[in-house]
Amino acid sequence: MKNLDKTLLLTAIIFFAGCETGLKNKTTTNDMNNISTNSGIVNEKKSTATYSKSSGNKKSEIRKIFSKSAIPGYYIQVGHFEDHKPDSVFMSKIKRSGLPSYIMEKYEDGRANYYALIGPYRSYNEAKGVEDRGRAKSISYGAFIVETIRP
C-alpha cells in the first residue's frame, strides 16, 4: 500500500510540474481588458512611429499588433505611413539593409495604414539583437520592436 501511495503522489507531482513548465500565456485576465478588440495597434497613437531622422523615444514596452495575415512573432517597426504606401526611397533603404521585410496593410476607421516591419523573429531577444546592431536604425532612427498576434 505504501508503494501505491508513493506512486500516486509522484505521478501527481510530475503531472502538475509538467503543466507548469509548458508554454505560458503572457497575458492575464486584467491585461485582456486593456486590449482593443479592433485589429491594429493596441496603444493607438502612442504606438505609431513615423519615418524621420529625429531622435526617437526608447521604451522597453513591447507594442502589439493584431494581424490575421502576418506571421506571429517579433518584428522591428521601421516606419508607419497613413493613407499611402512607403515610397521607393524608403523601400530601397530596407532592401539595402538585407533584412527580411514585410509591409503590413491595416484599415482603421476606413483609412489605410501601412507598417514597415523587419522580421519576423522568434524571440524578443533575437529582434533586440538585430536592433542593437544598428541595421534597423540605418533604415529609421526611431525603430522599435513590436509583437504580432493573431486576433
Residue ranges of the domains in the chain?
Answer: 29-149
Please name the CATH architecture into which domain 29-149 falls: 2-Layer Sandwich (3.30)
> Averaged over 108-119, what is the pLDDT?
90
Say if CB 18 and CB 103 are below 8 A apart: no
Q: Residue 52 pLDDT > 80, yes or no? A: no
> Averaged over 1-9, what is the pLDDT?
74
Per-residue CA distances from 40 to 33, 43, 138 (Å): 16, 9, 26
Confidence band for 121, pLDDT divided at 50, 70 and 90: very high
pTM here is 0.56
pLDDT of residue 43: 37
> Averaged over 9-20, what is the pLDDT?
65
118's CB contacts (< 8 A; 6+ apart) are 75, 76, 77, 78, 94, 97, 99, 100, 101, 102, 130, 136, 139, 143
